[in-house]
Structure 1
Amino acid sequence: MSMNIVPRKTAAAVAALLLAFTAAGCSSLGVKEEAQPAPQTGGTQTATSTGAKPIKLRVMWWGSQARHDATLKILDLYTKKNPNITFETQYQGFDGYLDKLTTQAAAKNAPDIIQMDAAWLADWNGRGQLADLSSGINTNDIDPSLLDTGKYKGKLTAVPLGNNAWGMIYDKAALEKLGVAPPKDGYTWDDYFKLVEEIKPKLGKGQYVIKDGTTDTTQYAAFQLSRGKGWPVTVDGKFNYDKESWLEWTKKFAQLRKDGVVPPPDVQLADKDLDPTADMLINGKLLFKGLHAAQVSAYDALKPGAIGVAAMPQGVQGGGWLKATFYFSVSQDSQYKEEAKKFIDWFINDPEAGEIGGTTRGVPITSKIVAQLQPKFNLGDKLTVEMINKTALKPQVFNPGAPGWTDFAKDEQDIRERLMFEKITPEQAFDELAKAGKKYEK
């Protein structure tokens, strides 16, 4: 089973495009990502019939309140332009989204239009659950390399919705108050850990510099990649945790945990990105977080003017990567595939839809819409573009995940949490990870 990854030429193409906008004075439009509001289901956007056959499209997505609000306005606009089309909406935070979607798909009751993550595409395509979108959608204004990430065996089954990158955000205002300089471009992991250890004595009780990376699979991947050791699970489905890197990483965080630089395990597990009551960075209890660029504007909206961005720390290679934010796919079981494709075509290409959506799904996927929005970009969106630009200077090749490995994340999380609570040693954790990985290798 083949996997699609963003080739290195995309990094140069995206960087050149976004740097050009930045040089022209780009700022951005507000983005929120991965907030955890209460799930919303069963809502219906209604319209007056014009005599055409009434069709109700079911649409499902995850995200923050800003994304929810923008998407509902976009759906309402589409119904006004196409009165026979109404929408039944399902939206929530990221937690639990895939489980709910998988249950629906197993019952042949998946929504018509589904927001998909790159990591899920291999399995969903392998099971034949995604419709062919190769015709009926104008993708001429999308970078071909990024568009290819949504293809399976030559057929387009997922339309990318935005440009994105994995990088770092920090509380710039708090660092300034502490008299601490932020990370410089090209900073290393040694620089990073030295900085966080220097900051801790300056903080008050209940304040921490960074999260405990023991349980952070994405941060660890960035660390291992930067050492030139490849992805912890390869694109062709091989277990590739580098033992030396793993032991160095986990033992470092064991020491940081002991020194109070990172939160205690129970405190860390209560942290929820972009939840105004539970996000530790928003509440002044944390200074740095690994983050996708598509989430940056949401943090700026909740902590106006306080956010700074950086690429991930680097080693012999860079630590971050460029990617599509996520995708729209159409369920193979949908009765309304053509109508769903018409909507996706309009969603990515229509200027009014682009105006409403802004960067709520990352930097828009079509250069035409980016050029349209660029003069109106605000500070949060400028930070979004800045993180992508910084990451594009030394990017890794994105790995969307290996087919058949979806459930490994659950095994991995359990092992990592037991290690964070010090129920097992780093060496035992590595052995357990390797054993779990063998279940998924083909």
Structure 2
Amino acid sequence: MRKRGSASLLLLSLALTLGMTACSSGGGNSNTSGNNAAGNEAGANNEPAKTEATTLSIMWWGPDARHEATKNALSIYTKQNANVTFKPEFMAWDAYWQKLPTLAASKSITDVLQMDAAFITEYVSRGQLEDLSDIDLSGIVDPKVIENLKIDGKLYGIPLSQNAQGIAYNKEELEKYGIALPKQNWTYDEFFQWARDAHAKLPEGKYPIGDSIGWDSFNFYQTSMGKDPVMAEEGKKFTLDKDLFMTYYKTYEEFRKAKIVPPAEQAAAFLENDPQADPMASGVLLTRGATTGSVSALEQLMPGKVGVVNMPIGPSGGGWAQSTIFLSVSANSKHKDEAKKFVQWFISDKEAGKALGLTRGIPINPEIYKELEPTLEPKDKLGKEIYDLSVEKALPFYSAAAGFTEWVDTYKKEMEAVTYGQQSIEDAYEKINKMGMDLAAKAGS
């Protein structure tokens, strides 16, 4: 009896071991024919099964520092996974978004690709991205963040970094002129009154805030007041609240007349992060919009002078704080399992985290950030400060829906005409609203 019991236990143990080995096999095995035969042969010869070599194609955009850091991370992955090599492509932002639609049309997008919140919904709607909901992100990404990123209940991009929209301000100049520093969770009413009060203390040629002509700025306002985002349900629903629109832009009309914001001609020449033309670094504006990722460039132009605060809020909150840059997997990839394994590794491996640093912003994984924090410069910590100030009241990030690119451009053009005094706010609203409603009806059909 004892001998039979021991033999039974041995067989059970062997079966469990084989089962666990099969369950934990990497993505490379999914591309290998005859896995069972290979496993049996390995068992018979007492040699490990060979994993088929896999080459993952991957593309991303960014500056040179990001390119070098990413290539280093890929080398680390290959050292840890000898069967996987990479075919990388990297380019600047404009070139990337010019090339990707062509790849999508021919269903030849790389196995892994960097994706942006402004475009991910569009590529999901085209069926180009793989559902990544089965990737285990527990302990790596806050579950609330994951929920905010889902599209129709599914996750199509693994978030890489913490990001948030806030406001940067010239704390040195504000203190010089005796102007109160912006405070966390200020309301829109407080923000507008702060601008009026600050203007009264500033010399001619300096302005407390800039003008507002982009759709996203108004969308911040509309959603903070408890209304739907301008675009929802993949563009099938369009809401441009006329009362809020008139209130918001009438305020800026008042500001143009009172010279609280710079004239349209001057504003048109602003170029963010340019030493001479940046609206704040040049000394013209005392505040401007900034994100976790962009504020470090401003701090480099104005070392020690930059303070940050979250976006103004309404009854429902305000601004956003979540990841806007992801790694996605192509729905047409032949190596989906290996690609999924890689993107999970990309945000969880500490060696990779050190290699990547802050080249994509504040790492989404808090453990990676802890490893990096002692080495960070003040410019880098400002980005984390924006996120920490914003996250309490943040709303989801709302990107333009697929098919609304021309509408976004039209919105800016019509509002620019308002700032130049070429048309009324109401006329601009009618044009913008009609175009949006027509696009929503088209999307719905």
Matched, 1:178 2:177: yes
Could you tell me how far apart the structure 1 residues matched to 2:425 and 2:329 are? 42
2:30 match: none
Identity %: 36
2:216 match: 218
1:85 match: 85
2:228 match: 230
Tell me, what secondary structure is at the counterpart of 2:434?
A: helix
- The residue identity in structure 1 corresponding to 2:88 is E
Is the 1:70–1:360 contact (alpha carbons within 8 Å) kept by the matching residues of 2?
yes
- The residue identity in structure 1 corresponding to 2:231 is V
Could you tell me how far apart the structure 2 residues matched to 1:91 and 1:345 are? 23
List runs of 5+ in structure 2 lacking aligned partners: 1-51
Could you tell me how far apart the structure 2 residues matched to 1:198 and 1:68 are? 45
Give the deviation of 1:330 after TM superposition.
2.2
Question: What is the aligned residue count?
Answer: 389
- The residue identity in structure 2 corresponding to 1:106 is A
Decide whether aligned partners of structure 1 residues 167 and 336 sit closer, same or farther in structure 2, where only a CA change above 3 A counts.
Answer: same
Decide whether aligned partners of structure 1 residues 267 and 341 sit closer, same or farther in structure 2, where only a CA change above 3 A counts.
Answer: farther
List runs of 5+ in structure 1 lacking aligned partners: 1-51
1:145 match: 144
2:7 match: none
Could you tell me how far apart the structure 2 residues matched to 1:136 and 1:391 are? 28
2:57 match: 57
1:13 match: none
More helix by share: 2
Decide whether aligned partners of structure 1 residues 86 and 272 sit closer, same or farther in structure 2, where only a CA change above 3 A counts.
Answer: farther
Decide whether aligned partners of structure 1 residues 421 and 335 sit closer, same or farther in structure 2, where only a CA change above 3 A counts.
Answer: farther
Greater Cα offset, 226-235 or 308-317: 226-235
Is the 2:354–2:372 contact (alpha carbons within 8 Å) kept by the matching residues of 1?
yes
Deviations 1:344-383 (A, max 9, x none): 2332112122123333333312232133233434323332
2:298 match: 299
2:285 match: 286
1:24-43 equivalence runs, <5 A:
none
TM-score by length of 2: 0.76
1:41 match: none
Give the deviation of 1:170 after TM superposition.
1.1
Could you tell me how far apart the structure 2 residues matched to 1:127 and 1:197 are? 47
1:391-410 equivalence runs, <5 A:
391-400=390-399, 402=401, 404-410=403-409
1:434 match: 433
- The residue identity in structure 1 corresponding to 2:240 is Y
- The residue identity in structure 2 corresponding to 1:218 is D
Give the deviation of 1:128 after TM superposition.
0.8
TM-score by length of 1: 0.76
- The residue identity in structure 1 corresponding to 2:393 is K
Could you tell me how far apart the structure 1 residues matched to 2:183 and 2:150 are? 37
Could you tell me how far apart the structure 2 residues matched to 1:75 and 1:177 are? 49
Is the 2:132–2:156 contact (alpha carbons within 8 Å) kept by the matching residues of 1?
yes
Matched, 1:373 2:372: yes
Decide whether aligned partners of structure 1 residues 134 and 248 sit closer, same or farther in structure 2, where only a CA change above 3 A counts.
Answer: closer
Whose RCO is larger (CA < 8 A, sep 6+)?
1
Is the 1:311–1:387 contact (alpha carbons within 8 Å) kept by the matching residues of 2?
yes
Give the deviation of 1:429 after TM superposition.
0.8
Deviations 1:129-151 (A, max 9, x none): 11243456766522223224444
1:93-112 equivalence runs, <5 A:
93=93, 97-112=96-111
Decide whether aligned partners of structure 1 residues 82 and 414 sit closer, same or farther in structure 2, where only a CA change above 3 A counts.
Answer: farther
- The residue identity in structure 2 corresponding to 1:269 is A
Decide whether aligned partners of structure 1 residues 360 and 205 sit closer, same or farther in structure 2, where only a CA change above 3 A counts.
Answer: farther
Could you tell me how far apart the structure 1 residues matched to 2:161 and 2:147 are? 14
Deviations 1:289-330 (A, max 9, x none): 123223233332332221111111223342222222321112
Is the 1:169–1:288 contact (alpha carbons within 8 Å) kept by the matching residues of 2?
yes
Could you tell me how far apart the structure 1 residues matched to 2:285 and 2:75 are? 38
2:419 match: 420
- The residue identity in structure 1 corresponding to 2:294 is Q
Q: Cα RMSD between the aligned structures?
A: 3.2
Is the 1:212–1:262 contact (alpha carbons within 8 Å) kept by the matching residues of 2?
yes
1:363 match: 362
Could you tell me how far apart the structure 2 residues matched to 1:426 and 1:402 are? 24
- The residue identity in structure 2 corresponding to 1:90 is F
Decide whether aligned partners of structure 1 residues 217 and 66 sit closer, same or farther in structure 2, where only a CA change above 3 A counts.
Answer: farther
Decide whether aligned partners of structure 1 residues 123 and 86 sit closer, same or farther in structure 2, where only a CA change above 3 A counts.
Answer: closer
Is the 2:158–2:326 contact (alpha carbons within 8 Å) kept by the matching residues of 1?
yes
Is the 1:325–1:361 contact (alpha carbons within 8 Å) kept by the matching residues of 2?
no
Decide whether aligned partners of structure 1 residues 397 and 344 sit closer, same or farther in structure 2, where only a CA change above 3 A counts.
Answer: closer
1:323 match: 322
Whichever of the two has the greater Rg, that structure is 2
